[in-house]
A and B are shown apart, each in its own frame.
Chain A
Amino acid sequence: MILSRGGYLIREGFRSIKTHGFMSFATVTIIMACLIIIGSVSLLSVNIDALIKDLESQNEVVAFVDESITEEAAAKALEGQLTAVDNVDSVEFVTRAEAMDNFMSQYDEDLMEGIDETVFRHRFVIHLDDIAEMAQTKAALEAVPGIAKVKAHLEYADTFVTIRNIVSVISLVLTVILVFVSVFIMSNTVKLATFGRREEIAIMKIVGATNSFIRLPFVVEGLVLGILGGGLAYLAEWGLYGLLTGRLMGTLTGSFLTLVPFKTVALPVLVFYLAVGVLVGAFGGVNAIRNYLKV
């Protein structure tokens, strides 16, 4: 009996989607539109963050080996100690000969006449995990015995950190506002969809239906519409993102950018969309009929 009753209530949920076709369509469309807006802003912020991180990683720190260590092997032996320093991501050893070659490739060779490689020092090109801690890392690298001097562009690091913080705050504020606005719009749509059915609910109450008996079809309906809205928004976002990134990569600006491929964010986007769809659909429906149940 319970099974047949449960089955009936679930069927009622699906039947209701069909019989209230226009409102179902409106609900799915609104959920979809809101999710696409939130998702697009979030993906834009993810890409800006990735771009800043990429630029950060190009910001190198150079550690010069003490002039007294002339042997290449002895200088290279410092690599282990440098790698062990906190916040160091990668260490690349550059011999004095390589340093001279680099220099000569950038400047006029005539300038280098009569100068040999001993003028240059062995060095390490170091990339950091987080440039926000560049000053502390610089000090730690300078403390390594055998390192004479560390050259780091602290002013660039500060600028990057400031930009990153501003972008994070703006995208967070924007996302929070959008989520609130969207939830408001979505719950109002669900409310509107159930408003036309208050008479139906009143009839159910008068024939002795319990609140849970009335709620279940609304929950089923909300769940289905929410999942549908979330799923469709995911597919649309996927297509839209692919289209936009494809277009952008084809331009000159795009060739300088590293865009996050959709597949790396696909799962979190899908989970987020379905979760919001389910929450708004099911809880929105239950919340919307709450007032009509007080009969």
Chain B
Amino acid sequence: MVRMNDVTMVYESSGTVALDGIDVEIKEGEFVFLVGPSGSGKTTLMKLITGEIYATSGSVIVNDFDMSNIKRRKLPKVRRTLGVIFQDYRLIENMTVYDNVAFAMRVVGASNREIRKRVPYVLELVGLEGREKRLPNELSGGEQQRVAIARALVNSPRMIVADEPTGNLDPVRSLELMLLFEKINEMGTTILVVTHEKELVNAFNKRTITIDGGHKISDGTKGYFGYDIE
């Protein structure tokens, strides 16, 4: 699924070493939290997985694609095996909820018939039935994040990568969202959640990888640990 061996990432423009010889392996069907303080390298690690940046050294394998030297034109293929979710939802503002989700299917060349069948199913799965015709700005933060999850799920990706998905949500909505991720995971999709929220991580007894200063400092299933949170 994801295999990183001795990965180092140095940003050329600033000379910052974001990751320093890190090893990470995530297996098919796992639910993994990736935690660490700001600037620890979490987002860099995520960007390496989605192919937004290339590692300075080491190897990165994602869903059988070698991301270390993948050609740009091949990136859409990798991204179609991933569902990516961001803290700020990243929905297309002038598209309805339905179109935002259907859009991800059109990208992969799905037929109108497939779209008409699949989109309502996924919207129901994330609890957004009846909201199809709304625009993103007519929804609450929690609902917008659910649209983003529906969009990530609609093409049945092998893995969902979520970067601080609960960052803009209150504790109740955050918990609901995590339960939704758990449900999706039980259906067979691998989940990687990057987060700051100690309570959430501790509430779910899942594998947690902690990184700090570009190094992996812990990897286990005992909850959120490895550094103090203010």
Contacts and interface: CB of A to CB of B under 8 A. Distances in A.
Interface of A: 1, 4-5, 8, 19, 199-200, 202-211, 213, 294-295
B52 to A, nearest CB: 6
Given A206-B79, A208-B79, A209-B76, A4 B111 contact: yes
Interface stretch (B102-110, B121-129, B170-178): B102-110
Given A199-B90, A207-B104, A209-B107, 7 more contacts: A1-B111, A202-B90, A203-B90, A204-B107, A206-B84, A210-B107, A294-B72
B144 interface: no
B77 A208 contact: yes
A206 B50 contact: yes
A207 B111 contact: no
B151 A207 contact: yes
B92 A200 contact: yes
Given A5-B109, A206-B84, A211 B73 contact: yes
Interface string B112-140: 10000000000000000000000000000
B196 interface: no
Interface of A is mostly: helix
Residue of B78, B103, B107, B111 ringed by the most chain A CB atoms within 10 A: B107
A208 B108 contact: yes
Interface of B is mostly: helix
A213 B92 contact: no
16 contacts: A1-B109, A4-B111, A4-B112, A5-B106, A203-B91, A204-B103, A206-B79, A206-B90, A207-B80, A207-B84, A207-B103, A208-B76, A208-B78, A208-B107, A210-B73, A211-B73
Contacts of B155: 208
B94 interface: yes
B91 to A, nearest CB: 8
B112 to A, nearest CB: 5
Contacts of A1: 109, 111
A295 B52 CA distance: 6
Contacts of A204: 103, 107
Contacts of B79: 205-208
Given A1-B109, A1-B111, A203-B90, A210 B76 contact: yes
A209 B104 CA distance: 8
Interface string B62-95: 0000000000110111111000100000111010
Give the 10 A-B CB pairs with smallest separation, nearest first: A208-B79, A208-B80, A209-B107, A207-B104, A208-B76, A19-B94, A210-B76, A203-B90, A206-B84, A1-B111
Contacts of A5: 106, 109
Interface in B144-158: 151, 155
A211 B75 CA distance: 10
Contacts of B111: 1, 4
Nearest to B84: A206
A82 B153 CA distance: 89
B166 to A, nearest CB: 19
Contacts of B103: 204, 207
Contacts of B75: 205
A203 B152 CA distance: 11
B107 A207 contact: yes
Nearest to A209: B107
Interface string B151-189: 100010000000000000000000000000000000000
Nearest to A7: B112
Contacts of B80: 207-208
Contacts of B92: 200, 203
Given A208-B79, A209-B76, A8 B106 contact: yes
B85 to A, nearest CB: 10
Contacts of A294: 72
